[in-house]
Structure 1
Amino acid sequence: MTLLAAVLLAAFVVAAAAAVAAGLAAARARRRHRRALDERGWLLERERQAAASGAVAAERARIARELHDIVSHNVSVMVVQAGAAREVLAASAADVPPDVAGALAAVEGAGRDALKELRHLLGLLAPAADGAEEHFEPQPGLDGLSRLVDRIAFAGLPVDVFINGEPRPLPAGIDTTAYRIIQEALTNALKHGEADRAEVSVRYAERSLRIEVLNTGPARPARRTAPVGTGRGLLGLRERIAVYGGDFDARRRFGGGFRVRARIPLDAA
């Protein structure tokens, strides 16, 4: 082998070794990059799940607080009425069987015990941030729908309301849930700024209450009509309706806009 051939062979070996080393280094870099991407994706998923869990927990606490207020308000009224009736009977000159006064006293005592337990349970489920005493107030219901619609319209989103069926009194929890569904749907339509008009339909069926909120907006491709529901507000609505075993669906509409539908059974309420 001549000296030139030996030099060329050595140069080829060095070049090949350098190429192999560079290839291995590039492969290791790609593996590190993939691992970094996988780890970042895992962390983002963990954060998303934590945020969703936090939103669900916060909404459950809010539901607990609202149901607590509803029940506490009604029990408070019962206690006051029972106590007033007992005092009226005691001051009356009529001959009242002693069992009646005893029954009223039992109702009053049971009501006060129930209020104490409700306060204790609410403290476990949704403690007040400032430790202040709770104030029991009736939660909003469908009787406040017109005021809600007026506020949304004043903020810039006209709303048409359609009531189907014969309106009738609803259980307080369902009444509040129905109001919150409409409130959240209209607030989202107003907040995201794509809707130019909204429609609210409330249908009193024989065994269920059906709610639909539609809004119009810029045209969207047909593929965007898939169900959605990862927002915190929508998660909260699902939690509310799940309390009563109802159905919930929220999706973008073909041709633009958004649709929220809910069905709340009334026979199991």
Structure 2
Amino acid sequence: MRTLMLVVALVVACLAAAALGFALRRARQRHERALGERGWLLEREREAAALAAVGAERARIARELHDIVSHNVSVMIVQAGAAREVLASMPEEAASALAAVERAGRDTMTELRHLLGLLAPAPDGSDETEPEDLAPQPSLARLTPLVDRIAFAGLPVDVRVSGEPCPLPTGIDVTAYRIVQEALTNALKHGAGGKAEVTIRYAEHALRVEVLTTGPSVLTGGPPPVRGGDGAGRGLAGLRERVAVYGGDLDARRRLGGGYRVRARLPLDVP
């Protein structure tokens, strides 16, 4: 009887051990499967993050190229057209216009070298770029040369600054400059004469930028400016993206009295 009980106990112990081993193996398999699925998910997340980063960088480069090329090429087109009109009758005026075309071309090349220097390493593999090969980042401090180029191309610009000017974060300073540049460039390309007013307002918690341009009136049935595939829409979309990065907002619309209004608010509060 005692032997039978021992045998039964041994069988039960063996079965329990087998069941425990089976359970442990199942648990290990589930753990390995979970780790594999987690690794797959992490890999997918890394790939998605990499694709998002590439997309964001491509959008940033597209905005920079548009801002650099669109403005200067627009000035070059207007000045070249003016030079052609007066080449025979007013050679001195034509020479001045052609000189402006040359300056705009040189500015474009300088800014493109700056951008490409930031994107590509030096031939020796280093990331260092000679300071003389780079133009300063555009900022509100460089607004006067921009306004002078636009005015010389045929669009008078009045600039007003209100509030107490203060040092701005680099990104906000560049963005404010680009807003003015894009608005004036569009006015130069699409406006029929007229003028522009630029207002820079330093408020306590935000920088406000407003550009008003004149043109055909909606109320008098004036035709709207032609919006072809020249990048005007891309420029405004790029501006909205720039402004959104800093938690601001931008509004661009046609004015009832004629022309356009571009208005932006860039918060200055540090989060």
- TM-score, normalising length: structure 2: 0.49
RCO comparison, higher one (Cα < 8 Å, 6+): 1
TM-score normalised to structure 1 length: 0.50
